[in-house]
A = this chain, B = another copy of it.
């Protein structure tokens, strides 16, 4: 919106200190550019909602209004409708997590869960441990409460437990307020935490007495391999964040948080202060949508589409991207993480890429400390396979030009040579695409 361009602010100096730590998200600033019809968006994590049958949604609301229109239109409890929480209990059971309705509350997407957890736990200067890179919305939510964010590197099996253990040893027992992880098809890295790592993480969290926050938006969007039990299935003290944004639609802004009841009681107070209660309107629609088994076919259809798009992206990367590039092989979810030679600044590349009709998300958006500047996140969830191939080809062209210029400078002796990709463990160059 236009307000981002304001330069003079007579209220400057009156805002809370926390606001100096909250910066605008490059991801969201890109929504505007990405909406130009000629631009292929490999940036936003938008689900392919066009595959959701509008008739199923309309029917859900009609049924809800016919049954009790006041229930949809009135204020509700802060913890969410029991009927929707029963749906969530059923979904979680399918993932291997046994819950009672009182073990969870409904939130405005998982994002509100992140905000409420930060609000409930974080005083300025407190430490939070995250994966690095991690979800940009989590960094935004946490930053507003002025914590110190420690990020732990990943490899293709997820967060590295040797590095986590070293951090925990340095911090000591209760040295962090919580450990935040996205174990499945991580955003932005696309990697999945192995079962062994999950057990190790829980053992470390227990030993150092630090709660674990498990954010699992993509868990049901698996393209290959077997289901891995969520952390919450292994330890009832894990705080679990779920969302309807990927298995139904983000436009309803519905998610949930399962947590030990004393924590949930605190979070509920924070939620009352934040918005009184969630939307009964969208909750009644979701209840009815999941009452019919048609949602399973729609989710299969979505997952099939995402698998095809991932394949298109991995094939196009192998075909077009420079030999020095490395990327991850996501078994599900929305994202591929690409690591490029250190001399490439992906924020600078982005400006040029937009001119060439393609967007992505620069890697430094996913770090609190400026790292990731020669990495990028590519989203395969939204563009169609052809567009993905074309988008990756356009992007490869921009990169090739930049690298030619760099090599010319190096050959002329104007710049020192450098090695391959940025130092990182997220460097597997996978060219094999599973069927």
Contacts and interface: CB of A to CB of B under 8 A. Distances in A.
Interface of A: 1-4, 6, 8-12, 14-19, 22-25, 28, 31, 44, 46-47, 49-50, 52, 54, 57-58, 61-62, 65-66, 69-79, 102, 108-109, 111-112, 115, 119-123, 126, 137, 140-141, 143-145, 174, 177, 211, 245, 249-253, 260-266, 268-270, 272-282, 285
A47, A250, A269, A281 interface centre (most CB from chain B within 10 Å): A281
Given A2-B261, A253-B278, A62 B58 contact: yes
A410 to B, nearest CB: 41
A325 B151 CA distance: 62
Interface SS of chain A: helix, strand, loop or mixed?
helix
21 contacts: A3-B79, A3-B264, A3-B265, A12-B262, A16-B119, A18-B119, A22-B269, A46-B74, A46-B75, A57-B69, A72-B249, A73-B249, A73-B251, A74-B251, A75-B245, A109-B276, A112-B275, A115-B275, A140-B272, A144-B273, A274-B274
Which 8 pairs of residues, A with B, have the shortest CB-CB distance? Answer: A9-B262, A54-B69, A73-B249, A3-B265, A251-B280, A49-B73, A73-B251, A140-B273
A4 B79 CA distance: 11
Contacts of A49: 69-70, 73-74
A115 B275 CA distance: 8
Nearest to A17: B123
A239 to B, nearest CB: 10
Give the number of copies in the complex. Answer: 2
A274 B112 contact: yes
A111 B279 contact: no
A11, A73, A115, A140 interface centre (most CB from chain B within 10 Å): A73
B141 A14 contact: no
B4 A75 contact: no
Contacts of A249: 72-74, 281
Contact of A268 (B1, B58, B76, B266): B1
Contact of A115 (B71, B262, B274): B274
Contacts of A19: 120, 266, 269-270
Contacts of A262: 3, 6, 8-12
A276 B111 contact: yes
A145 B16 contact: yes
A4 B266 CA distance: 9
Contacts of A269: 19, 22-24, 140
A123 B16 contact: yes
